[in-house]
Structure 1
Amino acid sequence: MASRQRSSRLRRTLLAALVAASVAVPVSGAARPAAVPAPVPASLGPLRATSPAALDARYAATRAGIRAAEQMAAGHGDHRRAAALHTMAAPTRHFLTFDGRDGGRTAEVFGDLSGAERIAVLVPGSDTNLDTYERFRAGAVALRNEMSGRSAVIAWLGYPTPGTVSPEALTPGLADDAAPQLRSFIGELNVALPTAGISLLCHSYGSVVCGRAAEGLRAADIVLYGSPGIGADSVRALGTRATVWAGRGGRDWIAHVPHASIQLPFFTLGFGTDPTAKEFGARTFDAGDTDHSHYLAPGSTALKNIARIASGTASPTVGGRHA
């Protein structure tokens, strides 16, 4: 009886959240970053070579694409977007991919990718796009500064992220679409840098994307933080040989989101088991007292422990428990 009542409460809570999001979206929809036009990017083909010369040529090509997008944004009258793109086109910035359409798709490199022995790939959560990109980038910079050894960080914005207050944030549809893109990108890194250890660092809704992409993926670690659930009830269900880690900050509101999954007639609502729960089976790490948006804040406990995992120097518990 108690179990049925708990399930009913979770169902009502999730449905109430979906209704609230459905009401809120039309109010904010006019401001969607996808409304700013951008040119079709030049086809660069898969990443195959990572010599300094090959990477420099690729970075130059993406820089030209960013400048073209800047000109189109300025012509559209969006000077804020144009200014952001102007900054991204600086010679000191290094993008493996760039597409300015539909809110933006990018993969920016921090560190020397050609000589990297460890690579951390950041997969962002909701409300990450070209207009909020500097926040995502700041976390990547902080992580690279914290990592040890010959390491590189890639900030992978490879999919249209949901709005925090939107129906898409409560359902796996966008993650299902994004997973093949992430799997393909990691596959390119496997080919280009076959001896490098790759860690997927997956924040919030990005953990749903990683969960969908995990099966058969060649990665050393999958790190889930600030996760609402990933659409799987256990590490075993992911079908991955990677070590799966999970952490949640003491002030993260995601702890209050119901960890349930409800199959409705045309879609699934919610993402199931909490990855930090013992029954999920992940190794847990201490994320300190961070809130939902500051896991990669400089000096934070979460950043230090995530960097240890990505650097390959973490102990089995990293300040948490070995579940």
Structure 2
Amino acid sequence: MASRPRSRRLRRTLLTALVIASVAVPTAGAARPAAVPAPAPPVLGPLAPVTDGTLDARYAATRDAVLAAERTAADYGDRRRAAALHAMAGRGRHFLAFDGRDGGRSVEVVGDLARADRIVVLVPGSDTALGSERFRNGAVALQHRLGERGAVLAWLGYPTPATASAAALTPGRAEDAAPGLRDFMAELRSARPAARLTLLCHSYGSVVCAKAAPGLPVAGIVLYGSPGTGAGSVADLRTTATVWAGRGRSDWIAHVPHLRLPLPSGELGFGTDPLTPEFGARVFDAGDGGHSDYLVPGSVPLANLARIAEGREPADA
């Protein structure tokens, strides 16, 4: 019986922290310096048709845009940003889209998009910045697991919130990001109509995917390390895709209260835990790791995410 009062106290403590963050963090965030400037990228045509020639031309155009942003960052005096962009422009890296302005957006391709019949789109969560090595490494690890028939697209299509911020506790960023993700997935489906498309949505990215879910032309939507989606159930997502959910046994996000509270300017929290029976997702084993361990080479969650993307059943715990 003693554990129940402790659980209630923890819940109240976390709720208090959420409310404090929702009030205090916007004030602190206003003092942050402006994003490093970057030139406007070239206007790109439709993705279809996907051939070696059209992809090479697109990759060349986006590489030029990355290099232009690198020069601007260097002139601005931000050496760290310039170094990250220099790495992005490196040999063997390919981008379907790039925009260095306002913090930066990009879609990196890992694998052979023209020939892959299994295509995964990774949607990241909080604290994922342009040039993130962890985000790219996860995409590379997953593509290696999928093999030559698989391609992974690392979609950084929105300004991800900082973990310790009010933006990470409210759906505003996700609501703003969802139309761009819907448009991208529609373009991808048009370009590769026969390929199996799967969305893998990490942490706050699962909120983005939930907002974009209605009518998406994908076979699967996978929510992992999710704080909730803002939806009460899979039915609320209005999708024909199979919805999966998984969480590592050491993931701190399990302790976040699954609440939705109205605020004067919106709401706080994301409601139902996607792993619960009432949500209705298919639950897969995500191993013993923590919040950043889902795409670690050789891990249980990486193997199961790859199996789901291939249309196979994940392995049992």
Contact 2:112 2:148 (8 Å CA) reproduced = no
- Partners of 2:205 and 2:162 lie apart in 1 by 12
Counterpart for residue 218 of structure 2 = 219
Contact 1:14 1:270 (8 Å CA) reproduced = no
Aligned-partner residue type, residue 308 of structure 1: R
Counterpart for residue 294 of structure 1 = 293
Asked if residue 304 in structure 1 is aligned to residue 303 in structure 2, the reply is: yes
Write the deviation string for residues 257-315 of structure 1: whole angstroms up to 9, x where unpaired.
Answer: 00111122321110010001111110010000010011101111011100111122225
Counterpart for residue 17 of structure 1 = 18
Stretch of structure 1 that moved more, 205-214 or 122-131: 122-131
The structural deviation recorded for 1:104 is 1.1
Aligned-partner residue type, residue 53 of structure 1: G
Write the deviation string for residues 233-269 of structure 1: whole angstroms up to 9, x where unpaired.
Answer: 1111110000000000010000000011112232111
The structural deviation recorded for 1:91 is 2.8
Counterpart for residue 92 of structure 1 = 92
Contact 2:130 2:156 (8 Å CA) reproduced = no
Asked if residue 200 in structure 1 is aligned to residue 199 in structure 2, the reply is: yes
The structural deviation recorded for 1:212 is 0.2
- Partners of 2:45 and 2:19 lie apart in 1 by 39
SS in 2 for 1:61: helix
Aligned-partner residue type, residue 301 of structure 1: V
Contact 1:122 1:200 (8 Å CA) reproduced = yes
Counterpart for residue 181 of structure 1 = 180
SS in 1 for 2:119: strand
SS in 2 for 1:101: coil
The structural deviation recorded for 1:101 is 1.1
Count of equivalent residues? 311
Contact 2:121 2:155 (8 Å CA) reproduced = yes
Aligned-partner residue type, residue 18 of structure 2: A
The structural deviation recorded for 1:13 is 3.6
Contact 1:234 1:279 (8 Å CA) reproduced = yes
* CA RMSD, Structure 1 to Structure 2 (Å): 2.0
Counterpart for residue 161 of structure 2 = 162
Aligned-partner residue type, residue 43 of structure 1: V
Counterpart for residue 269 of structure 2 = 270
- Partners of 1:12 and 1:291 lie apart in 2 by 22
Counterpart for residue 254 of structure 1 = 253
> Structure 1: any 5+ residue segments left out of the alignment?
1-5
- Partners of 1:13 and 1:222 lie apart in 2 by 29
User: TM-score, normalized by length of structure 2?
Assistant: 0.93
- Partners of 1:78 and 1:304 lie apart in 2 by 38
Counterpart for residue 43 of structure 1 = 43
State the identity as a percent.
61
Counterpart for residue 319 of structure 1 = 316
Equivalent positions of 1:59-208 (< 5 A) are 59-130=59-130, 133-148=132-147, 150-208=149-207
The structural deviation recorded for 1:26 is 5.6
Aligned-partner residue type, residue 297 of structure 1: V
Q: 1:78 to 1:225 in 2, by over 3 A?
A: same
The structural deviation recorded for 1:25 is 6.2
- Partners of 2:30 and 2:295 lie apart in 1 by 29
The structural deviation recorded for 1:11 is 7.2
> Structure 2: any 5+ residue segments left out of the alignment?
1-6
Equivalent positions of 1:230-245 (< 5 A) are 230-245=229-244
SS in 2 for 1:35: coil
Aligned-partner residue type, residue 59 of structure 2: Y
Write the deviation string for residues 119-144 of structure 1: whole angstroms up to 9, x where unpaired.
Answer: 0000000011125x111001000101
